[in-house]
């Protein structure tokens, strides 16, 4: 299947791919990926990142823009200033979990049981 070069999406992706420009890809989940586009088709974008090659479904992409080299406001990370208050969800990476002996622990995994559905359906 030949991609339509008159489509602005394909034109942008092809230009950034040919010129090997760095792009920021924002996913619908809020994750930001930075890298260069290696290839793309009607369904996926192949992004070369410092961590390796990433295959991203287009339906999971919210925004693609050229990398400006700056972090978005509130993007998280870095040291928190004194008196900044407690961490809130999305305020940046958390420090690694450490046991009382000082050893790093494995990530905490939380599983939740699904709620039982009421008999007779949910149209009440």
- Give 17-44 pLDDT, tens digit per residue: 999 999 999 999 999 999 999 999 999 9
List the 22-27 sheet strands across, edge first.
Answer: 52-57, 44-49, 32-40, 22-27, 61-66
pTM for this prediction = 0.54
d(CA 68, CA 98): 36
Neighbours of 12 (CB within 10 A): 15
In this predicted structure, what is the pLDDT of residue 78? 47
**Given CA atoms 97, 75, 23, 9 in this order, what sign does their dihedral have?**
positive
Write the burial class of residue 119 (CB in 10 Å: 0-12 exposed, 13-18 middle, 19+ buried): exposed
In this predicted structure, what is the pLDDT of residue 77? 46
**Given CA atoms 58, 64, 70, 73 in this order, what sign does their dihedral have?**
negative
Higher-scoring residue by pLDDT: 108, 13? 13
In this predicted structure, what is the pLDDT of residue 115? 76
Per-residue pLDDT tens over the stretch 51-110: 999 999 999 999 999 988 776 665 544 444 555 555 555 556 666 666 666 666 666 677
In this predicted structure, what is the pLDDT of residue 114? 76
Backbone torsions φ then ψ of 16, nearest 5 degrees = -65, -30
Domains in the chain (CATH in brackets) are 8-62 (2.30.30.100)
């Amino acid at each position: 299947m030949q991609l339509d070069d008159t489509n602005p999406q394909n034109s942008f992706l092809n230009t950034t791919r040919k010129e090997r420009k760095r792009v920021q890809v924002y996913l619908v989940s809020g994750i930001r990926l930075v890298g260069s586009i290696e290839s793309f088709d009607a369904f996926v974008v192949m992004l070369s990142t410092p961590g390796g090659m990433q295959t991203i479904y287009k339906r999971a992409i919210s925004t693609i823009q050229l990398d400006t080299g700056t972090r978005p406001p509130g993007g998280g990370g870095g040291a928190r200033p004194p008196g900044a208050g407690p961490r809130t969800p999305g305020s940046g990476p958390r420090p690694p979990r450490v046991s009382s002996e000082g050893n790093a622990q494995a990530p905490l995994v939380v599983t939740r049981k699904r709620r039982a559905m009421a008999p007779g359906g949910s149209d009440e």
